[in-house]
Amino acid sequence: MARSVTEWVTVTGDISIIARESGEVWFHSPSSTKEGVDPFATPMTGAGAAGSTVGLLDGAINLGFAGIEKRLARPDPTLVNYTVALVGAYHTSVDTPRNLQRAARRFNELGRPEVAAYLEERAREETGHDRLALKDLRALGLPAERLVANFVPEGIKPLCKRFDDLCVQDYPIGCIGYSYCLERIAALKQKTDVEKVQAMCPDGVDATRFLRSHSGLGSEVTHVEETIEFVASLPANDRISVVQETYESALIMAEGYNHEFLKSEAEMLADLQQAVGEALPYRLSSYPSHGEKRGARPAA
Ligand SMILES: [Fe+2]
Ligand SMILES: [Fe+2]
């Protein structure tokens, strides 16, 4: 009988993630092991398997988000923070196909056509997703192009920069870890999340195109599954790099969430209004976030 696969990756100086094909995942601290007896001190070299690779990838995300886990009890969305999220979604989508194609060309040069083919396929799948976010913004009555041209949410900037940087590296394998992190987190969104947004949109307005397709209801689930299979098929040193970058991207994303949590509804609205250079439609300001009093709703 074939032996069950065990994979491991050190993601910080003091933490390794260990995952078994059976689904067990645990974190291991090399410094807690006596020198010379740590079986995970040297990088893994064996083949991967989907069951253990997903443990490493999701373990990396959990670890990256561990610092803000308690704060992730998401407040109900408001139209203001949903609008900011849509602007962020636009910025994390708009360069994705071009960036992935660039990384694909590099892998072709490196004689890795299977990685190039995977990235080209992903580039095709992601094409047009920025337009979904623009359509949603327009559906909310906003000047979408002006808004995204003049505003990148603070928490999103480092994430966009990370992806740009990863895709121009000489060996751009990390872009797969970044994409996994974003897609895996998007795929956690459920029907109830979409319904909450629909409920606060004016009647007849469909502003959830991007959210639906980047949730557990849309293509994101398949993208995540395909990526797990593909990463599991890679050589050990590539799997290590992908998991390490999944962790780094999760840290950056968690920091970005932190940033957004610290902003009040009024500050977010001010950012949006400054970007478009005009007062936004009343309905954006009519749904104050937690901690703010809901004002009387003027007759629209
Ligand atoms: Fe997408
Ligand atoms: Fe996707």
Cα(234) to ligand 2 centroid in Å equals 20
Q: How many Å lie between the centroid of ligand 2 and the Cα of residue 149?
A: 23
How confident is the model at residue 71, as a pLDDT? 58
46 CB neighbour count, 10 Å cutoff: 13
Q: Could you list which residues have their CB under 5 Å from ion ligand 2? A: 183, 223
- Contact of 286 with 83, CB cutoff 8 Å: no
**164 CA → ligand 1 middle, Å:** 16
Q: What is the DSSP letter of 38?
A: -
For residue 208, give every residue at least 6 positions away whose Cβ sits within 8 Å of its Cβ, in sequence order, or none.
136, 194, 197, 198, 201
Written as tens digits, the pLDDT of the chain (300 aa) is: 567 899 999 999 889 999 999 999 999 987 766 666 788 889 999 999 999 999 999 999 999 998 775 555 556 788 998 999 999 999 999 999 999 999 999 999 999 999 999 999 999 999 999 999 999 999 999 999 999 999 999 999 999 999 999 999 999 999 999 999 999 999 999 999 999 999 999 889 999 999 999 999 988 999 999 999 999 999 999 999 999 999 999 999 999 887 777 788 888 999 999 999 988 875 554 444 444 333 322 232
Distance 228 CA to ligand 2 centre (A): 13
pLDDT at 47: 96
In the prediction, which pLDDT does 139 show?
96
Give the position of tokens 């040069």. Answer: 109
- Evaluate whether 210 touches 274 at the Cβ level (below 8 Å): no
pLDDT score at 32: 67
pLDDT value for 51: 97
In whole angstroms, what separates CA 161 from the centre of its chain? Answer: 13
Cα of 239 vs centre of ligand 2, distance in Å, is 20
Q: CA-CA distance, 292 to 46, in Å (whole number)?
A: 54
Reported as half-sphere exposure (CB side, CA atoms, 13 A), residue 27 has a value of: 15
Q: How many helices (H) and strands (E) does the chain have?
A: 13, 3
DSSP 65: H
Report the pLDDT value the prediction gives residue 89, as an integer from 0 to 100: 97
State the ligand closest to the CA atom of 128.
1
Question: How far, in Å, from the CA of 37 to the mean position of ligand 1?
Answer: 44
Question: Ligand 2 centre from 17 Cα, in Å?
Answer: 25
Q: What is the structure's pLDDT at 300?
A: 29
Residue 3: what pLDDT?
73
What is the structure's pLDDT at 68? 74
Distance 92 CA to ligand 2 centre (A): 11
Cα of 266 to ligand 1 centre, how many Å? 29
Residues 232 and 219: their CA atoms lie apart, in Å, by 20
Per-residue model confidence (pLDDT) at position 259: 78
CA distance 65 to 160: 18
CA dist., res. 199 & res. 61, Å (int):
30
Interatomic CA distance for residues 19 and 156, integer angstroms: 30
Instruction: Identify which ligand lies nearest to the alpha carbon of 187.
Output: 2
The predicted pLDDT at position 286 comes to 47
Tell me, in angstroms, the distance from the centre of ligand 1 to residue 194's CA.
Answer: 16
> Ligand 1 centre and the CA of 39: distance in Å?
39
